[in-house]
């Protein structure tokens, strides 16, 4: 009886760990994209040709 709960609990823990790793990767990617967009915007704003 307790074996099924242990298996399901372990499976839920693995899913939560996978979701946490995925979330950290997405946050890092989002930060990189916004950093790049900010740099491009600042470069365009300070360009001498307009």
Confidence of residue 48 (pLDDT cuts 50, 70, 90): confident
Instruction: Measure the CA–CA gap between 23 and 16, rounded to whole angstroms.
Output: 10
Confidence of residue 50 (pLDDT cuts 50, 70, 90): low
> Cα torsion at 36, 41, 43, 46 (round to 10°)?
-160
- Domain interval for residue 37: 1-50
Task: Round to whole Å and give the CA distance between 28 and 43.
Answer: 23
pLDDT higher than threshold 60 for residue 16: yes
Quick check: helix, strand or coil at residue 49? coil
pLDDT band with cut points at 50, 70 and 90 for residue 6: confident
Task: Using pLDDT thresholds of 50, 70 and 90, give the confidence band for residue 44.
Answer: very high
Question: Structurally, how many domains does the chain consist of?
Answer: 1
């Amino acid at each position: 009886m307790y074996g099924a709960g242990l298996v399901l609990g372990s499976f839920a823990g693995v899913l939560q760990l996978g979701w946490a790793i995925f979330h950290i990767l997405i946050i890092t990617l989002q930060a990189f994209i916004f950093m790049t967009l900010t740099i491009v915007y600042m470069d365009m704003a300070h360009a001498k040709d307009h």
